[in-house]
């Protein structure tokens, strides 16, 4: 397993739609393992392949938290096949937008179809943090960041803040 670099916005790959995975093979399972290791190290609760520069429709998640045993999930070609009517607003972060947080409105419940690590097609009914994380990661596969759900003014403000934080970080490490 290996840690991969996480792309930071603005990066063209984070604004690009990813292509469907054609085969679940050992190479893809290696990528899944690298992504899980990278996600746990960050630390984060999800990661999409475009965030590590791989333009394929693959996401990994673990919303179990530190109180329970790890519950890693790998979803290949995930798609939302049904959405509940209710929406919920909660704060989100993103490993590609470090230190930037905002409240985002999402569907409270989504039904997801995906292919698993063994190549089997599965379905999952999600709510709570898992539903939020699945929607956030699926957005990454379509080149959408959580700030794209905000007003243009708020998005501009947050992206300016990110650019300033990144400049400061570069100055400190130079
Ligand atoms: O996709 C990503 O950038 C990962 C992102 C996922 C996410 C966070 C919040 C709501 C929806 C989706 C993160 O994991 S940001 C880090 C984070 O939320 C976290 C980190 C450590 C412990 C608990 C949460
Ligand atoms: Zn993200």
**Gap between the Cα atoms of 98 and 101, Å rounded:** 8
* 122 contact partners, CB below 8 Å, separation of at least 6: 113, 114, 115, 116
* Best CA proximity match to 138, nearest among 48, 71, 72: 48
CATH number, domain 12-173, options 3.30.70.1400, 3.10.640.10, 3.90.45.10, 3.40.50.450: 3.90.45.10
CB of 36 closer than 8 Å to CB of 74: yes
Using the mean position of ligand 2's atoms as its centre, give its distance from the Cα of residue 51 in Å.
Answer: 8
137 is catalytic: yes
Q: Is the CB of 94 under 6 A from ligand 1?
A: yes
Q: What is the pLDDT of residues 119-166, one digit of tens each?
A: 999 999 999 999 999 999 999 999 999 999 999 999 999 999 999 999
Q: What is the pLDDT of residues 38-68, one digit of tens each?
A: 999 999 999 999 999 999 999 999 999 988 8
Scan for tokens 């290949």, then name that residue. 76
Query: Two tokens at 46?
Result: 């999800």
Q: Is the CB of 141 under 6 A from ligand 1?
A: no
Query: Two tokens at 118?
Result: 């063994």
Query: Two tokens at 75?
Result: 């979803």
- Nearest protein Cα to ligand 1, atom 3: 94
């Amino acid at each position: 397993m290996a840690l991969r670099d996480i792309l930071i916005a603005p990066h063209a790959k984070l604004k690009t739609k990813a292509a469907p995975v054609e085969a679940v093979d050992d190479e893809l399972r290696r990528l899944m393992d690298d992504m899980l290791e990278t996600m746990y190290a960050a630390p984060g609760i999800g990661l999409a392949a475009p965030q590590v520069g791989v333009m394929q429709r693959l996401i990994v998640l673990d919303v179990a938290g530190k109180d329970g045993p790890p519950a890693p999930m790998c979803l290949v070609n995930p798609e939302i096949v049904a959405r509940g009517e209710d929406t919920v607003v909660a704060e989100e972060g993103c490993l590609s937008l470090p230190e930037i947080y905002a409240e985002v409105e999402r569907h409270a419940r989504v039904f997801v179809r995906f292919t698993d690590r063994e190549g089997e097609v599965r379905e999952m009914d999600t709510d709570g943090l898992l539903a939020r994380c699945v929607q956030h990661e699926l957005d990454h596969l379509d080149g959408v960041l959580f700030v794209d759900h905000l007003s243009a003014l708020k998005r501009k403000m947050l992206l300016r803040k990110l650019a300033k934080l990144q400049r400061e970080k570069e100055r400190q490490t130079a």
